[in-house]
Amino acid sequence: MKTPWVSSGNRARSALAGLVAILMTLATPLAGCGLPDDDERAARELDVNSRYTVESVQVSGERNVTISDPLRLELDKVVGAKFDHSALERLADRLRNELRVSDVKVNVTRGTEPDHVIVNFEVKSREQKFDLNVAKFLYDSKEGWSGDGNATTHLKGNLITFGLVSDGDSLVERFAGIRAKFERKKVGTDRLGFRFEFDSYHDMWNQATLEQAQPGDIYRSRQVFTPEATLVIVEPLEWSFGVSFARLRVPYSSSDTEGGGAAAAKTESSNAVVNTLRYHQRWGSAHDPQEQEVTAVYSAEAATDLLGTDRVFTRHLADARYRFRHDRNSVEVRFMAGLLNGAAPIYERFVLGDSTTLRGWNRFDLDPLGGSHVIYGSVDYRYRMFQIFYDTGAIWDRVQDREQKQSVGVGFRKDLTEKESFQLAVAFPMRAGHVDPIMYAGMSF
Amino acid sequence: MRAIKSWWLLVAFLSGFTLAMMAEELVLNWRNDHLEFSAPRVHFLRGQPLELLHNAAPVPFNFQVTIWSGTHNHVFEQLHDRFVVSYDLWEERFKVVKTQSPRRVAEHLTADKAEAWCWEQMSLASDTTGLGGSEPFWTAFEIRAEDGKGGPLFGRSITDSGISLTSLIELFSRPPGAQQSHWGPYEAGPYTLDELKKSPHRGL
């Protein structure tokens, strides 16, 4: 049995934990989940062990445990305090949620000193070997249904995923097909992981796109193979790097060559080096009265002749979100900017007007081919399940085409888990002339 | 001679075994003008609740005793109480807090003494005023430990809601949870007060 983390009265606390404590104190004056005095007194009377002092706290289990700084601080606070079983169960619940394990059991034994006790949180790994999840399930009143379902098997630290996708929301094209993924999150060290992903999709196109596209832009299908490694530079900053090999089936008319009129297709390649920097930090949890979360992603792709690609391009995208919750009120602010140079395939082009960006606008009204430049911002406010949002952004190829668009919306959103939610919303594009709202309903988007 | 002795020994053993099997879960006595309940065969400080207690978790036990009189449809008296038991890791003894009014506390108890103390408190709460000496009555009891995942130990304070008499009555109106330890309901009768007063130890 490993004991990856131990906290005791004389344990030196990390500088980062101290910094977080200061930030939490400044930014979250109401943070903390202590019982009111009356309840504390009552609990003390009911529990004979409440007169004892906690000597040390351990977290143990069958796997390495990485605990966030805010939660580690909460665990540190228990050391030296009077024993409170209810508070320990709440911490076990937080550990269970944060570590995504099947169970965390609180074990209490006598301490080495009289009238002291030792607390051990025993982490039990998820025994589930097979997992089914719906990454996306969405109805858009303009584009219809989109769905993305995955089956994942866990085999000795490896994740093998097989998925079925039909998505008419996130790209210019509607793509439907399969996804297969192999992932190992730890290769020799906790800091390095790798994954291989293979996608095979058939593509369908909106009439507006077909009318504006050049011959050779439209493809019937695409297969993408992406080997990628992820390195944790400094918690919580990660760098992923790899190569994306794409094969596109591009139809052309053979009338130009011989026989005349027969449909044919040729294969083109789009191979690019992919780099992604990802930062995700969270202060507090769903159990605390106050919670903050920052997620920032910067990705850069470069398809060069060195990789034997038919499409040469570079693509940069920065996407950042900040979420602040106080009790039942929460505000989320998002900013996104992207730049594309060269002859990228359409699935690499930027889109606004889907279920997550510039909601309410039809993306084919904004740019039927997708854009090479994008800038976008949004503010979401939620009270309990009620949600209102404001989106603004622009997408363009030429500077003279750049035009700021705005939309507002209302709806309901219910978080089912940390990553899954159900949402029902109506979004209104802000434009002169007429109102043409779009309704969204679905999960996990 | 030897054959006869062996035969009697076998009969005595079988009789004792049969009597033991027929022994009642709830024993009623009449003492100091009170019905006195005891359940020497029912040990609730065992199994999963005891495991939790040895792990320093306080465990609430909800008691319900019902007395019917005249006909089996008429509830003469219904007693509810909640006892929060905790186990002292250093002294290796139990502490019990009776949470309903009047609130009482007993400490430094062994497991058997702790169980007996809970029954003693239920007995003290019993009031047979209005019950005729020759009037037949029936009784039943049920105990439920709040040791399941939905119980108050996990995430909520044991001082949270659920202690009021109303909530105790409501609690017993629902079936126990799948992971919840429970004993009973054990039911027996009819008996009379006159009968109990004549015979000081009478099981139901």
pLDDT in tens, B56-113: 989 999 998 888 887 777 888 888 888 999 999 999 999 999 888 888 999 999 999 9
Q: With beta carbons under 8 A apart, name residues in chain B contacting A107.
A: 55
Model confidence band, residue A406 (pLDDT cutoffs 50, 70, 90): very high
Interface test with B, best of A33, A47, A285 (most B CBs within 10 A): A47
- Contact state of A86 with B107 under an 8 Å Cβ cutoff: no
Rounded distance, CA B82 to CA B64, Å? 9
Q: Is B70 in a helix, a strand, or coil?
A: coil
Between CA A417 and CA A423, with CA A418 as vertex, the angle to 5 degrees is 65
Mind spelling out the 3-state secondary structure of B82-131?
EEEEEECCCCCCEEEEECCCCCEEEEEECHHHHHHHHHHHHHHHCCCCCC
A36 touches chain B (CB under 8 A): no
Task: Band the pLDDT of A14: cuts 50, 70, 90.
Answer: very low
Please list every residue in chain B whose beta carbon sits closer than 8 Å to the beta carbon of residue A86.
Answer: 153, 155-158
Q: Which of residues 349-388 of A touch B (CB under 8 A)?
A: none
Cα–Cα distance, A221 to A201 (Å, whole number): 6
What domain count does chain B have?
1
Q: Decide if B48 touches A, using CB distance below 8 A.
A: no
Domain that holds residue B36: 2-203
Give me the sheet containing A116-124, strands edge to edge: A2-8, A53-61, A116-124, A103-110
Lowest mean pLDDT across A68-82, A245-259, B127-141 = A245-259
- When pLDDT is cut at 50, 70 and 90, the band that residue A40 belongs to is low
Q: Is A300 exposed, middle or buried (0-12, 13-18, 19+ CB in 10 A)?
A: middle
The answer to whether B184 and B39 are in contact (CB under 8 A) is no
Residue B87 touches partner A, C-beta closer than 8 Å: yes
The total number of residues written for chain A in this structure: 445
Domains and CATH numbers, chain A: 2-124 (3.10.20.310), 130-443 (2.40.160.50)
Q: Nearest residue of B to residue A106 by CA position?
A: B55
Separation CA A64–CA A249 (nearest Å) = 45
* Cβ–Cβ contact B50 with A under 8 A: no
Q: Which residue has the tokens 């004979």?
A: A48
Question: Is A108 an 8 Å CB contact of chain B?
Answer: yes
In this prediction, residue A138 carries a pLDDT of 87
Over chain B, what is the mean pLDDT?
76
- Give the number of residues written for chain B: 204
Q: Which of A24-38, A305-319, B6-20, B42-56 has the lowest mean pLDDT?
A: A24-38
Give the residue-averaged pLDDT of B124-136: 82
pLDDT of residue A99: 79
Identify which of B61, B54, B60 has the alpha carbon closest to the alpha carbon of residue B93.
B54
Backbone angles phi and psi of A402, in degrees to 5: -70, 125
pLDDT score for A176: 95
Where is pLDDT greater, at A84 or A19? A84
Yes or no: say if A378 and A323 are a contact pair by the CB < 8 Å rule: no
Whether B158 sits inside 8 A of A47 (CB atoms) is yes
Asked if A117 has any chain B CB less than 8 Å from its own CB, the reply is yes
Q: Could you tell me the pLDDT band of residue A442, with boundaries at 50, 70 and 90?
A: confident
Average pLDDT over residues B17-34: 65
**Is the Cβ pair A39, B107 closer than 8 Å?**
no
Whether chain A has a CB inside 8 Å of the CB on B92: the answer is no
Contact A86 B84 (CB under 8 A): no
Asked if B154 lies within 8 A of A89 by C-beta distance, the reply is: yes
Q: In b/e form, how buried is each residue of A196-234, taking b as 16+ CB within 10 angstroms?
A: ebebbbebebbebbeeeeeeebbbebbebbbebebebee
Give the nearest chain A residue to B107 (CA atoms).
A48
- CB within 8 Å: B157 and A48: no
Q: Give Cα A175 to chain centroid, integer Å.
A: 21
- Name beta bridge partners: A429: A407
Q: Which helix (H) or strand (E) holds B197?
A: helix B193-198
- Sign of torsion over alpha carbons A167, A169, A175, A181: negative
CB of A53 within 8 Å of a chain B CB? The answer is no
CA distances to A194, A226, B62, B144 from B167, in Å: 54, 59, 11, 14
Structure tokens at B66: 């019902």
Which tens digits make up the pLDDT trace of A143-158? 888 999 999 888 777 8
CB contact under 8 A, B55 and A46: no
Closest by alpha carbon to A62, among A5, A122, A108? A122
Q: Would you give the distance in Å from CA A51 to the centre of its chain?
A: 44
Amino acid identity of residue A353, one-letter, is: G
What token pair was written down for A296? Answer: 């920032």
DSSP E strand boundaries for A125-254:
130-140, 144-155, 158-167, 174-184, 192-204, 221-234, 237-253
- B14 token code pair: 């079988």
Percentage of chain B surpassing pLDDT 90?
16
Number of H helices, E strands in chain A: 6, 20
